[in-house]
Amino acid sequence: MKNQKDSKQNNVNRPSPLRGDRGGLLSRLLRPNIVSLKPYSSARDEFSGADAMFFDANENPFNAPYNRYPDPYQSELKKKIGEIKGVAPENIFLGNGSDEAIDLLFRAFCIPGKDNVVSIDPTYGMYQVAADINDVEVRKVLLKQDFELDVPGLLNTADENTKMIFICSPNNPTANVFREEDMLKVISGFDGIVVVDEAYIDFAPEKTLMHKLADHPNLVILQTFSKAWGVAAIRLGMAFASKEIIDVLSKIKYPYNVNLLTQEKALEFLENAQQKDDWVSVILREKERLKKALQQNPLIKKIYPSDANFLLVVVDEPQKIYDLLVQKKLIIRDRSKVAMCEGCLRITIGTPEENDKLIETLKELS
C-alpha cells in the first residue's frame, strides 16, 4: 500500500492536456490526433520515488545511477530553473535543444499540407527547416528597413489556417531586440500561438517578455543553455508557456528526451549562476571593444546595433573577406545572401585573445 501511495504522489508531473484550457484556445488550435493521443506511459511515470528497488523497466541492475532511465519530466532541474527565472515548474518544458520544442510545436498545432505559420525575415533558419520537415508552409514577412517588426504585415499575412507566428528577439542575424509594444500587439492581435525565441536574451535580460507570460495564454517563450551559459554541447533548451501548452508538449515528446548527464551538468551550472553573469559581462565589454576597433577599419562600412553576443557588419566584398579569414583559420559567418543582409558578415564575440587576433588580421587585410 505504501508503494501505491508513493506512486500516486509521484504522478504530479504527468501531463493532463486541455484541462483548464482558457477560452478553448488549445481545443481550437491543436491537431485532432494530438487531442485524442494517448501518450506512452513509461515505468518512471508510474513510479519515480527514491529508496525503492526497481524491477519494472527491464534495466540493467548494475552501474548506478546510469543504469536507470532519467526522470522523464526533469523535476529537480525544472524546480531550479523556475527559481532562477521566476516561474512555476509546471510552466517549463525542457528539450534536446530549443530545436526540439520548435519541432514539437509544429507537430502539436500544424496539420501537414494544410496549416501554415508566419515568420519574420530574416531570422533563425530552424523555423523553416522544422516547417519543411513537417510539411507546413512558412509565410515570411520582411522586417522594416530599421530591422523592426512590421506588425500589420505579420497580422495581415495570417489567415484561418495560420497556427503560429515566430519572432526571434534578439533576432538572428540582425542582433536586435524588438520593441515590447510591437511584440505585444502581435501577441494580442493574433488568434493563435506566438513563439518568441529569446535564445540571446541573457545579453539583454531587461528586455525579456517573461514578465508577460502569465497575461498571454497564447505566448510561448524559448530560451537556451547554448549561448550565455556556455554549454551548447549538452543540448538543453527551455520553453516557457501556460501549463496547458506545456502539458501538450510533455504529452507528445519522447519519454526520456533529456538524458541524465545533461540534467546533472545543467544543475551543476545553475548552482554557479554567477559564472554565467561574469561571462556575459566579459562578452559585452569585448563586444564594445571589438566594435570600436572595427569602426576604425576601412573594410567595415557599417556595424548594426547589437543586443546579442555577435555583431552584424557590412563590407564591400563579403565572400572575399570570409575566404581570406578562413585561410587564417578565423571562422565567421557570411550572411550576405540572406534577405536584407546584403554585404553582411556575422561575427561572434570571442575571448579577448581571439578578438585581438581577429582585429589584427582584419587590419592586415585592409
3-state secondary structure of 361: helix
Domains of the chain: 14-39+72-270 (3.40.640.10), 274-365 (3.90.1150.10)
Distance CA 338, CA 124 (A): 11
Rounded average pLDDT over 47-75:
89
Q: What is the pLDDT of residue 222?
A: 98
pLDDT of 316 > 50? The answer is: yes
Q: What is the pLDDT of residue 6?
A: 40
Q: What strands, in cross-sheet order, belong to the sheet with 162-168?
A: 92-95, 237-240, 219-224, 193-197, 162-168, 116-121, 137-142
Element (H, E) at 43: helix 43-46
Q: What is the pLDDT of residue 9?
A: 37
All three cell numbers of 207 = 528586455
Supply the DSSP string of 283-297, one letter for each residue. Answer: HHHHHHHHHHHHHT-
All three cell numbers of 57 = 523497466
Query: How many Cβ atoms are within 10 Å of 118's Cβ, its own excluded?
Result: 27
Q: What is the pLDDT of residue 196?
A: 98
pLDDT of 307 > 60? The answer is: yes
Q: DSSP code of 274?
A: H
pLDDT of 13 > 60? The answer is: no
Q: List CB contacts of 156: < 8 A, sequence separation 6 or more.
A: none
Rounded average pLDDT over 100-125:
98
- Of residues 218 and 20, the one with the higher pLDDT is 218
Model confidence at 24, pLDDT cuts 50, 70, 90, reads confident
The model's pLDDT over 245-297, given as tens digits with 9 standing for 90+, comes to 999 999 999 999 999 999 999 999 999 999 999 999 999 999 999 999 999 99
pLDDT of 19 > 60? The answer is: no
pLDDT of 103 > 50? The answer is: yes
Q: What is the pLDDT of residue 61?
A: 94
Rounded average pLDDT over 68-85:
96
* 174 closest CA partner among 226, 98, 122, 228: 122
Q: List CB contacts of 77: < 8 A, sequence separation 6 or more.
A: 94, 258, 263, 266, 267, 270
Q: DSSP code of 137?
A: E
Contact 366, 351 (CB under 8 A): no
Q: List CB contacts of 4: < 8 A, sequence separation 6 or more.
A: none
Q: What is the pLDDT of residue 20?
A: 56
Model confidence at 52, pLDDT cuts 50, 70, 90, reads confident
Q: What is the pLDDT of residue 17?
A: 44
Rounded average pLDDT over 20-31:
81
The CA R_g of the chain, rounded to the nearest whole Å, is: 22
- Of residues 334 and 12, the one with the higher pLDDT is 334
Model confidence at 16, pLDDT cuts 50, 70, 90, reads very low
Q: What is the pLDDT of residue 43?
A: 82
The residues with which 196 forms a beta bridge, in sequence order, are: 167, 221
* 361 closest CA partner among 318, 310, 326, 319: 326
CA angle centred on 26, ends 255 and 38, rounded to 5°: 35
Q: What is the pLDDT of residue 23?
A: 61
Distance CA 201, CA 138 (A): 25
Q: What is the pLDDT of residue 22?
A: 62
Contact 99, 126 (CB under 8 A): yes
Model confidence at 45, pLDDT cuts 50, 70, 90, reads confident
Burial 145-175 (b: 16+ CB within 10 A, else e): eebebbbeebbebbeeebbbbbbbbbbbbbb
Distance CA 250, CA 304 (A): 39
The model's pLDDT over 166-222, given as tens digits with 9 standing for 90+, comes to 999 999 999 999 999 999 999 999 999 999 999 999 999 999 999 999 999 999 999
